[in-house]
Every structure is written in C-alpha cells, then in structure tokens.
Structure 1
C-alpha cells in the first residue's frame, strides 16, 4: 500500500525472488524519494491509492489501474497485502486470469467495528478472497475468524506459524 513500507518490510523476499532470476515488479504508491535495489531485475510501477479513503470512485480508479498494469505486464504470479490491494488487486488479477495470494497480517478496523462502511469492506473481502489461490494469515484467531464468518474457504488459508519473517539483523533493538 506504499513503496516505502513494501521495501521496508518485504525487501528480503523481493531480493530472494530477484536473485533467482525472476523479474520482480513492485506496484505501489511512491512515498519515498529514492530506493536502490541489489538486482537490476526489480522494477517499480507507481499507482495512486487512497489508503484510508472511502470514496468508491477512487477505489474504482485504483482497481482499473491495477487491471491495466496486470494486463500489460502479464506476471506469472501476484502477491498482495493490506486491505485495498487484497480486495482490488485480487479482483484485478482474476479479471486478467493471473494467479495471486493475499496476505492478511491483521484483520484491522474493518473487522473490529460495525457500520455500513466496514460491512462493505468485509463483503468485498468475502467476494475478492474467493479468487485468491491462497490467503496467508499470522495467527489462529484470524484464521478461525475468516473461516467461521465464511470469508475464506478453509482449504485456501495458510497459517504462517512462525510469522512473516523479520530480518533480525536489519531490525535490531
């Protein structure tokens, strides 16, 4: 949901796939002045995303931007994380017939509070995640919640019992 966070939290995975000779394309809003990668086969495609906005027009524009990028780039696989990329990215991947995985680090505000906006977010999650190949979660509470509320089919959920993987050398006390 932003380039700075994508690089900060996923750089080891990005470098791993790039080191295997894969072209890695990062699609995210640009919110950092510079970034330098270890491998030349890592590219950035900027996209506009209103992270906390609730205007459906901006979400439609975001979905359409992702759909165009996916159709043009034709990636072999797409990995999404955070709520809007999980919803709109997974739907765009489905439209383009590209396999994808959604990562849910936490259920967040949409699942902890009531209201029409959060109901819409949960409904969109339920619709979109049926098209993900897998849905990664970090704890049994989230896994059980998603299964019990019929948001994700049990066979699609992968529980990362060891967490996401934090590079302890980079994130020292």
Structure 2
C-alpha cells in the first residue's frame, strides 16, 4: 500500500503555484498526495499532476467560531477516513486548525508559516488571539518552518518553549532550470515590474505615487496582479484605476498565470510590501537575473544585498522614489554585473532541490 500524505492550504492556487514541484516529487516517489482546500479553482491543474483533491470550506480570514469548528470537524472525519502517514499545513488557518486536528488524532505534521500576516501588522487583540492559537496548532508539530529571520525570532518569542521545534527554510525554493538566466534588454527605456495582489499591505499605493513623482518619459511601470476584494487590506478598483490612469507610463496587466515573461522583459522587480514570508516573485526574479527593489521589512530584506538589489523604507513613497531614481541611472556595465550576481545568489541560496529534500526528509524519518 502506498504512503499517503495530505497537504492543507487556504487556496488551491497556492498549492499549485508554489508547491507543484514538491507535489510532483512525492508522486514520482510512489506517494499518494491529497490536497485539501476551501476552493476548487485549481483542482483540475492539481489532478493533472496526479493529486487527489478534497474541498473543505473554511473562512480564510478572521475568526468565525462556527465556520472554524465545522472545518475542524470535517478535517477530522477526512483524516480518519484517509489515514495519512503525514500532514503538511501551509498558511495560518491550516497551521492552526489542521495542526490542532492532527494533534488530537496523533498524526505527525509539519506547519509551514509562510508569513505572519495582517493580524501581526495591525496588532491589538487579534494579534494576541492569533498568537494563542498558533501555540495550540504548533506545539505538537514535528517541525514548524518559517521563511525569514524576523519570523524565526518572533515565533521563538511566541512559543517560549524549548521543546517546540522551529526552523527556517528558503521559502518554496526555485526551479533554477525553469527560471533560467535571461540577458536583459538594454535601451533608454527602464522597465519596473510589480507582481502581487492589489492590496495596501503590498505597498501598491506607495509604488504608484513614487513612480508618478519621477518625471522621466523613459521609465515604465508594469503591474501584474489581481484584486482581492475580500481582504481587509484591499484597494478599491475605483481608487486603483484613478491612480494608474493619471500616468500613461503605467500598464496594468491584471492576473497572469505565467509571470516569467514579464520578469524577463523587466529591468527591475519592485516589491514595497509591509511584510512577507519569503517572496516568491523576488526569488524568481533573482533566478532570471533581475535585480530587486524591496522594502525594509521581514521577508523582503532577507533577499536584498549588494549582490541582489536595493532596499528602501516601507510605507514611504519618497524613499521608494529615491531608490527608483538611483537604479534607473545605473551604468550599463554595473547593471549587467548586478544581473549576473543576482543569478549566482539564486543558484547558491534558492535551489528548490534543497527545499524539496528538506520536506521529504520528514516523511522518510517517520516511515523508517
């Protein structure tokens, strides 16, 4: 009989977009993979990989006693029926509620804390409740994985227990063969690229203000991403379009399934986020050989060095504007050296094979 694992995520897109290579690795090693998600948007894509899918609805945001209890109850029934050897939980709600379920059923599990989220940015009572629930969901895990140094220190403070396992992993890692180095286009035009949801927490408003403040016809800003209207940090379509329509150098491309071509066409990739785990788009950009501009916050600053790009202050359009002016005037030779050093960093630090082997090691240890 094949070993069975269950991966629990807050969207099917998250599982397919960030972990399809990990999933494919498990399947190629004769492991049955189940993905649990509250939506079915990417179920056909996951099924094409050989995944067995299960939709169990839950509210992605906030605390809802009835919804969360129902989620735990349905998870419990599914785990009892499926009898997994191991469970991998990704994002806050699965970390907490699937973690508690696994603890109750004595199923070994690993939590991946991909970022501490808006509840930690806003603070207050919601943060205290989230910290308490994290303790319940993480205390019995085989391991709890974070993606940056800031989250590592914060989770140590939250747990305050030497017996709770906690380690750092290099995000999702990057398939270096898929995201190969591509020589950038050198011309008078300098293209900046933002990839992410249209949220205040992603710094999209500061980015537009910063870019629009620079009076240079040779600069272009491409924005790739979708609206997330249920998110408390959402930007209304009206506000967003009013801002970008006032500058004919800004191009909005909406959601794109494949962003690789946009990164290849860019000269710099910008992420002015307020907080991240370890941003996938910045890792992909470095792998392709594009220098990054990132805010000085958890997750982003972990990827910025003199060899990879530039840093600016979070929530400051002025700081970002200065940074964009600086990089747009780089000499060609200096820029090309930076592109090559970005790729070398990705090869050394972000190889996906290391991340896949790390996750697989838990299953091997549990099955030995």
TM-score (norm 2): 0.44
Is contact 2:147–2:168 with CA below 8 Å preserved after alignment? yes
Q: Report whether the alignment pairs 1:166 with 2:149.
A: no
* Equivalent residue, structure 1, for 2:150: 141
Q: 2:104 aligns with which of 95, 103, 111?
A: 95
Q: 1:60 aligns with which of 64, 69, 82?
A: 69
Looking at structure 1, the residues matched to 157 and 103 of structure 2 have their Cα atoms a distance apart, in angstroms, of 24
SS at structure 2 position matched to 1:165? coil
* Equivalent residue, structure 2, for 1:37: 48
Deviant stretches of 4+, over 3 Å: 151-155
Looking at structure 1, the residues matched to 137 and 102 of structure 2 have their Cα atoms a distance apart, in angstroms, of 10
Q: Superposition pairs for residues 5-44 of structure 1, below 5 Å?
A: 5-32=14-41, 34-35=44-45, 36-39=47-50, 42-44=51-53
* Equivalent residue, structure 1, for 2:115: 106
Return closer, same or farther for 1:125/1:151 CA change in 2, 3 Å cut-off.
farther
TM-score (norm 1): 0.89
RMSD in angstroms over aligned alpha carbons?
A: 1.9
The superposition leaves residues 4-55 of structure 1 with CA deviations (integer Å, 9 ceiling, x where unpaired) of: 221111100000001000000111122416324233xx20011101101422
Instruction: Point out where structure 2 has 5 or more consecutive residues left out of the alignment.
Output: 1-9, 180-258, 264-368
Is contact 1:49–1:62 with CA below 8 Å preserved after alignment? yes
**Aligned-pair distance for 1:76?**
0.3
